[in-house]
């Protein structure tokens, strides 16, 4: 089935003080996500970039950090008996229950031993180990609770992305309902699968391959720029041929996701960006919804950083981006 990409252009006309009050027309492009129907707007020049961000004083002080070596083993919670180990360990990564859980099954993965890592210095091994620890926890929960169906592995990096701690870490949530976005994507993907007997993401990768929005293929994972981005420089990685639920913690898919994510962050760093969000969706054995990773850039962390979570984001769930995905998808390709 051919996936349709719907867009329209709206024009605003006014007398601009930037052009001696001559009549000016500015275009806004509105796009519709072909899977969910969610809309996004491409609005030029709406993302501020500081010239020389200064963050050293904010990121180098590790005193009192619960996630640093020597403290993470003593100051963090321990898993209940059904998990097995008191805390999970994979390479540099250490996992443990979330002291402030978001649901019945909620954990944290302290990703690195270093307290602060510039986004272009993360390694594939670090993310592979972190995802390994997260996926193992998801598998433990699925085995423990038959009602648990949805899982997500998430990351806020630095304060513009919503992180209260500098130390790189992931957070995993597993339950029977998922988040609003997980359910929206899952239900739409199931509808597509039922109507077309095809996996939406597989069809999308085939249709987009060779175009400006198709970034790369790393092993089992396709990387694309969504037609209707949720946020700035939004990229997705999808293991479109994997239908077995949770990836093998130390398997190829986990490594492929990690390698691609490192490449995305290198691209972000080349633009002067330093903050990001990640959300990786997993559902228990649903052939319509393979593992799906979303990553977006956030406003630059600086001494006086600004929030890019406007009313569009927090109240309307409307993506507003300043660069079209055809542009930044083509740029990102050079980093893969």
The domain segmentation of the chain, as residue ranges, is 6-42, 56-333
Report the CATH superfamily, name and number, of domain 56-333.
Answer: HIT-like (3.30.428.10)
pTM: 0.96
User: How does pLDDT run across 164-219, given as a tens digit for each residue?
Assistant: 999 999 999 999 999 999 999 999 999 999 999 999 999 999 999 999 999 999 99
| Structure-token match 């994997």, residue found | 242
* Residues 1, 198: Cα–Cα separation, whole Å: 8
What one-character DSSP code corresponds to residue 227?
S
Confidence of residue 321 (pLDDT cuts 50, 70, 90): very high
Q: Is 79:87 a contact under the CB 8 Å cutoff?
A: yes
Supply 27's token pair. 């275009």
For 141, the 3-state DSSP assignment is helix
Q: Does 333 have pLDDT greater than 80?
A: yes
Supply 159's token pair. 């304060």
What one-character DSSP code corresponds to residue 159?
G
Q: Does 56 have pLDDT greater than 80?
A: no
Which residues are CB-contacts of 180 (< 8 A; sequence separation ≥ 6)? none
- As a whole-number percent, the residues of the chain with pLDDT over 70 amount to 99
User: How does pLDDT run across 209-268, given as a tens digit for each residue?
Assistant: 999 999 999 999 999 999 999 999 999 999 988 766 899 999 999 999 999 999 999 999
| Structure-token match 């997980």, residue found | 182
């Amino acid at each position: 089935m051919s996936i349709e990409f719907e867009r329209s252009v709206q024009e605003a006309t006014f007398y601009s003080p930037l052009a001696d009050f001559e009549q000016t027309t500015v275009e806004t492009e509105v796009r519709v996500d072909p899977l969910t129907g969610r809309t996004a707007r491409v609005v030029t020049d709406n993302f501020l970039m500081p010239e020389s961000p200064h963050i050293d004083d904010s990121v180098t002080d590790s005193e009192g950090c619960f996630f640093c070596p020597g403290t993470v083993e003593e100051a963090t919670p321990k898993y209940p008996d059904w998990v097995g180990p008191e805390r999970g360990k994979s390479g540099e990564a250490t996992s443990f229950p979330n002291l402030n859980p978001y649901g019945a099954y909620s954990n944290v993965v302290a990703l690195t031993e270093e307290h602060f890592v510039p986004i272009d210095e993360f390694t594939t091994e670090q993310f592979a180990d972190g995802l390994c620890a997260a996926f193992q926890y998801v598998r433990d929960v699925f085995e423990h609770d038959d009602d648990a169906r949805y899982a997500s592995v998430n990351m806020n990096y630095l304060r513009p992305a919503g992180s209260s701690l500098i130390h790189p870490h992931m957070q995993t949530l597993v339950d029977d309902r998922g988040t609003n976005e997980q359910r929206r994507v899952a239900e739409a993907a199931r509808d597509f699968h039922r109507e077309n007997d095809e996996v939406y993401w597989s069809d999308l990768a085939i249709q987009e391959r060779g175009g400006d929005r198709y970034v790369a293929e790393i092993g089992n994972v396709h990387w694309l720029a969504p037609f209707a981005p949720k946020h700035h420089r939004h990229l997705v990685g999808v293991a479109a041929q994997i239908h077995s639920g949770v990836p093998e913690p130390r398997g190829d898919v986990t490594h492929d996701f990690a390698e691609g994510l490192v490449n995305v962050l290198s691209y972000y760093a080349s633009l002067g960006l330093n903050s990001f969000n990640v959300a990786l969706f997993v559902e228990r054995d649903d052939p319509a919804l393979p593992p799906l990773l979303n990553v977006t850039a956030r406003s630059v962390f600086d001494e006086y950083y600004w929030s890019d979570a406007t009313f569009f984001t927090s109240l309307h769930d409307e993506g507003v981006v300043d660069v079209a995905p055809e542009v930044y998808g083509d740029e990102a390709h050079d980093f893969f």
